[in-house]
Every structure is written in structure tokens, then in C-alpha cells.
């Protein structure tokens, strides 16, 4: 039987080791994410588990040791089964994705993806440009460039790189995608500003998603506090500055890039957690139960009586930017976009970078129900090509290249069925593999094959 003094020593050892392990885990997590209750609980659980294992190792009760070993065996066996199932993509309803070097990506919510993030935490196969690359193309955007809905080899950047090297095999071209869900034009500017020191690109293509990029510029439409997002604000004489509440987020972004491009050792605890499927499955079940208990029933956005306005709001997309009648939100957000693009143009010119804008269009559900030919995106109160038209004029005036995918689709009169196949959720989601191919082909044709860019083509 264990002596009281030894038992007290072991308990004290458990407390000390648990505290140290929890502190180390929390410190590692806080370098990659903002402090949150979830990471605090995870850190404490990791510390407690470490302490308990040390205690079991030190005690003399063989029965406890045997039970612990048996429990560990079943945990490891279960994790092994989950890893095998995940390898063959046989775990439905599970989504694993956190920004961390070499983190595991497993996605089933929209499309399918099962891969490993690159060295710098981006969902893209290439992490660095090689020294022999004559053309270094950087793609900057939001979730359309993050592209967790498709496999890496289906990403438009990979397809664009293949087209560039087939078109000009002597000039070696490489493409890297930097995309993150929730990004907006303010993030694109910050990415471009930082990329000069970390990537030294020759070409930068900025993707503007018409669905919510304009909304993401304004706190009153993005519905996220300045302290949790990057906003800019207009000042007198057509000026622009970082919103005072977002200064900390800009600083955090800079530190994140610097950290990710240095040693990835501090990130290893968080990286390891993304690869433990038993933990991710348990977390997913818990989050869904919590969401189900907290959620209220909502009406469907597919009801025929629902207006375009209600549908876009329901989908979390812009409404005001497509309205024919200008509003304060549409005027301010478009002005801010133009000022940010002018800043990007200035940075690019100073660094000798070829800068191009690519717009990604939005299609309302009513579009896919119509039968008229030729089709149009011009409705009584909304024009879904309106932002592209305004940006095209702006880019032409500022000697900035632009590829307007919505206008191109309209000019080509692509069948509605094909448009629907290019987006997940029957035309209402992110790009499918077919959508990535279409975007890649037209970016190549407009920018690199000798065709006149869309920005100077005559509108039909």
C-alpha cells in the first residue's frame, strides 16, 4: 500500500506537471490563435492528462497500471481506425481545418478535401517559389482562393501554373495561392504589402468576390467588431487609414506572417491536434449538440416568394452593391475598394509587380429557374454585373488589368446548367473543379496568351 508521504508527493507531482503542461500547451496555442475558452479548456485537458499519466507511472498499484494501459490501447486502436477511414475519406460530416503549418485538412461540408496544409499554413501545395522561377505569380483572395472544397490539384492556381508552363516552357512559371475565408479588400492590401518581403512575386492577381467583399469593408454590414477584424475608414481629402480599432489585428497579422515564416516548432502542439481525429470527432459532436440547442428554426431561402434581397441576406452576401439605386453603403464600400486598389497599384509599381484584378460573380437562385435566352443578370432592382462595370472603368482609368468573369460568362452566354456546375450547391456556393478550370482558363487567356485583357475590351 502506498505510504501517505509518497502519495502526497505523487499528487503534488501531478499538480505541478499538469500546470506546466497546460501552460506550455496554452503558450503554444496563443502564438497561433487569439485567446479563447476552447483553447484554454484544451490546454487544461492536455495538462491534466499528462499529469495523470505521470502519476500512474509512479504508483505501485499494478491493477491501475493495467487498466490505464488497456484504456490507452483502445484509444490508440480507435484513432488508428479513424485514420484509416479518413485516408479513404469515409468519415462523413467531419470538418477539420485550422491555420497551422502542416495542419490536417479534412472537409465534407461543401465539396470534399483531404490534404495537408503547406509549411506556412496555407491550403496550397506550393509553399515557396524556387530560385529558378522566372515568373512568380501570387493569388490573393478569400475562401474562393483558399479552396478547401476541392483537392489541391484542382485549384485554379495549379491549373494556371500548368497552362503558363505549357504556353512558355522556357520561362519557368510558379503560382502560389494565399486565400483565407472571411477576407476582404483590406486583407488583400495587407497581404500584398507583406508579400513583397516574403515572396517577391513578379505577378499578383487579387480576386474580388462580389458576393461579400464589399460588405466586408464596413462594420455595420460585416457585423464584426473592429477589434476582431481588419477595417479601413475614409478620411478627408479622399484619404484612407486603418480603423483605430483594427490596429491590433494588423499588428497580429504581421506577427503571424513573421512567425509562420520562421521556425514552425512552436506550432507543433496545435498541428498535432489537427491530426488527432478522435479528438476532432468528439469536438464536432459537441459543437453540433451545442448549435442544435441554441439554434432557432429559419425559413428556407428557396421559397419562390422570397425576393432577391431576402435571399442574398439569408446567404450572408451583399445586397446593396447590386442595387441600381445607390445607397450610402454601396458608395462608401466601392470608394474604399478603389482606394485600396490604388494603394496596391502604387506598391506594385514600386516593386515592379504586374497587378491584376479578377472579379468572381454571384448568381441569384432565380437565375437558375429562368428559361429566357439570351440570359441576363439585370433585374428590376438589381444588376449583378454592376460592380464589374464600375471596376472595369476604374481599372482602365488607372492602367490596372482586370478580368471580369461575370461579364465574360454573360458575353459567352454559358448555359445555366454549366454555370450551376461551376459552383457548389447548385450555383450558390464556391467554385467546383469545373469552376476553377473556367477561371484559370480565362485568366490565362486574358493575361498571358496574347489576348486583349477584359479591361480594354469593348463591352458588348
Report helix, strand or coil for 107: strand
What cell was used for 441? 482558363
Q: Which of 99-108, 299-308, 384-393, 433-442 is the least confident region?
A: 299-308
Q: What is the side-by-side strand order in the sheet with 135-141?
A: 173-179, 135-141, 203-209, 354-360, 401-404
Report which of 67, 71, 215, 148 is spatially closest to residue 429, judged by C-alpha positions.
Answer: 148
Q: Is the dihedral of CA 191, 193, 197, 200 positive or negative?
A: positive
Whether pLDDT at 214 is above 80: yes
Quick one: what percent of the chain has pLDDT higher than 70?
Answer: 81
Assess contact for 359 and 405: CB atoms under 8 A.
yes
Q: Which of 32-46, 339-353, 369-383 is the least confident region?
A: 32-46
Q: Which pLDDT score is estimated for 322?
A: 94
Distance CA 187, CA 309 (A): 27
With b for 16 or more beta-carbon neighbours within 10 A and e for fewer, the 225-245 pattern comes to ebeebbbbbeeeeeebebbeb
**HSE-up (13 A, CA, CB side) for residue 287:** 11
Whole-number mean pLDDT of the chain? 85
Distance CA 378, CA 18 (A): 63
Q: Which pLDDT score is estimated for 305?
A: 32
* Residue 31's pLDDT band (cuts 50, 70, 90): very low
This prediction's pTM? 0.84
Report which of 446, 442, 435 is spatially closest to residue 147, judged by C-alpha positions.
Answer: 435
Omega before residue 374 within 30° of 0, cis:
yes
Distance CA 185, CA 137 (A): 19
* Residue 291's pLDDT band (cuts 50, 70, 90): confident
What confidence tens digit (pLDDT) does each residue in 64-74 have? 667 777 777 88
Average pLDDT on 199-227 reads 94
Distance CA 12, CA 178 (A): 48
Q: Which pLDDT score is estimated for 39?
A: 56
* Residue 5's pLDDT band (cuts 50, 70, 90): low
Could you write out the DSSP letters of every residue in 329-340?
HHHHHHHHHHHH
Question: CB-based contacts of 78: which residues, under 8 Å, 6+ apart?
Answer: 278
What cell was used for 428? 450558390
What cell was used for 222? 460585416
Assess contact for 201 and 195: CB atoms under 8 A.
yes
Q: Which pLDDT score is estimated for 63?
A: 76
CATH of 124-266+300-456, one of 3.40.640.10, 3.40.50.1460, 3.40.50.300, 3.40.50.1110: 3.40.50.1110
Average pLDDT on 322-342 reads 95
Average pLDDT on 217-239 reads 90
* Residue 35's pLDDT band (cuts 50, 70, 90): very low
Whether pLDDT at 385 is above 60: yes
Residue 184, phi then psi, degrees to nearest 5: -145, -175
Q: Which pLDDT score is estimated for 451?
A: 52
Q: Which residues pair with 106 in a beta bridge?
A: 96, 114
Beta strand segments in 369-459, E: 401-404
Question: CB-based contacts of 180: which residues, under 8 Å, 6+ apart?
Answer: 99, 142, 143, 146, 187
Cα-based angle 199, 204, 207 (whole degrees, multiple of 5): 125
Q: Which pLDDT score is estimated for 8?
A: 60
What cell was used for 100? 497551422
What confidence tens digit (pLDDT) does each residue in 415-446 have? 999 999 999 988 889 999 999 999 999 999 99
Whether pLDDT at 251 is above 80: yes
Other CB atoms within 10 A of residue 173 CB: 23
Amino acid at each position: 500500500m502506498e505510504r501517505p508521504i509518497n502519495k502526497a508527493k505523487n499528487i503534488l507531482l501531478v499538480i505541478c506537471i499538469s500546470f506546466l503542461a497546460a501552460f506550455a500547451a496554452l503558450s503554444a496555442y496563443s502564438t497561433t490563435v487569439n485567446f479563447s475558452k476552447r483553447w484554454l479548456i484544451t490546454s487544461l485537458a492536455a495538462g491534466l492528462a499528462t499529469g495523470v499519466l505521470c502519476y500512474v507511472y509512479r504508483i505501485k498499484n499494478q491493477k491501475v497500471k493495467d487498466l490505464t494501459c488497456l484504456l490507452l490501447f483502445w484509444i490508440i486502436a480507435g484513432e488508428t481506425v479513424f485514420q484509416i477511414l479518413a485516408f479513404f475519406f469515409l468519415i462523413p460530416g467531419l470538418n477539420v481545418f485550422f491555420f497551422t503549418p502542416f495542419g490536417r485538412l479534412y472537409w465534407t461540408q461543401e465539396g470534399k478535401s483531404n490534404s495537408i496544409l503547406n509549411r506556412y499554413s496555407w491550403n496550397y501545395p506550393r509553399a515557396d517559389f524556387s530560385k529558378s522561377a522566372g515568373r512568380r505569380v501570387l493569388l490573393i483572395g478569400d475562401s474562393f482562393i483558399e479552396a478547401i472544397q476541392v483537392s489541391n490539384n484542382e485549384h485554379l492556381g495549379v491549373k494556371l501554373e500548368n497552362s503558363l508552363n505549357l504556353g512558355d516552357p522556357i520561362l519557368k512559371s510558379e503560382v502560389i495561392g494565399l486565400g483565407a475565408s472571411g477576407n476582404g479588400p483590406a486583407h488583400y492590401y495587407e497581404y500584398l504589402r507583406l508579400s513583397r518581403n516574403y515572396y517577391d512575386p513578379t505577378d499578383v492577381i487579387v480576386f474580388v468576390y462580389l458576393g461579400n467583399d464589399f460588405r466586408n469593408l464596413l462594420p455595420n454590414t460585416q457585423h464584426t467588431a473592429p477589434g476582431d477584424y481588419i477595417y479601413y475608414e475614409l478620411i478627408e481629402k479622399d484619404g484612407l487609414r486603418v480603423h483605430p480599432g483594427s490596429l491590433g489585428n494588423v499588428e497580429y497579422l504581421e506577427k503571424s506572417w513573421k512567425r509562420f515564416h520562421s521556425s514552425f516548432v512552436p506550432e507543433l502542439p496545435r498541428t498535432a491536434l489537427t491530426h488527432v481525429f478522435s479528438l476532432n470527432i468528439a469536438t464536432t459532436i459537441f459543437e453540433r449538440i451545442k448549435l442544435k440547442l441554441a439554434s432557432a428554426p429559419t425559413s428556407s431561402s428557396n421559397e419562390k416568394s422570397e425576393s432577391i434581397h431576402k435571399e442574398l441576406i439569408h446567404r450572408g452576401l451583399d445586397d446593396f452593391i447590386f442595387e441600381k439605386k445607390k445607397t450610402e453603403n454601396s458608395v462608401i464600400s466601392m470608394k474604399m475598394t478603389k482606394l485600396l486598389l490604388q494603394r496596391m497599384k502604387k506598391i506594385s509599381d514600386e516593386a515592379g509587380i504586374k497587378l491584376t484584378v479578377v472579379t468572381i460573380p454571384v448568381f441569384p437562385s432565380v437565375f437558375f429557374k429562368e428559361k429566357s435566352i439570351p440570359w441576363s443578370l439585370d433585374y428590376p432592382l438589381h444588376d449583378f454585373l454592376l460592380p464589374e462595370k464600375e471596376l472595369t472603368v476604374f481599372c482602365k482609368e488607372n492602367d490596372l488589368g482586370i478580368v471580369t468573369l461575370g461579364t465574360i460568362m454573360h458575353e459567352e452566354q454559358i448555359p445555366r446548367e454549366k454555370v450551376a456546375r461551376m459552383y457548389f450547391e447548385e450555383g450558390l456556393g464556391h467554385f467546383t473543379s469545373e469552376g476553377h478550370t473556367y477561371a484559370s482558363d480565362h485568366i490565362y487567356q486574358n493575361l498571358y496568351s496574347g489576348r486583349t485583357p477584359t479591361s480594354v475590351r469593348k463591352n458588348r
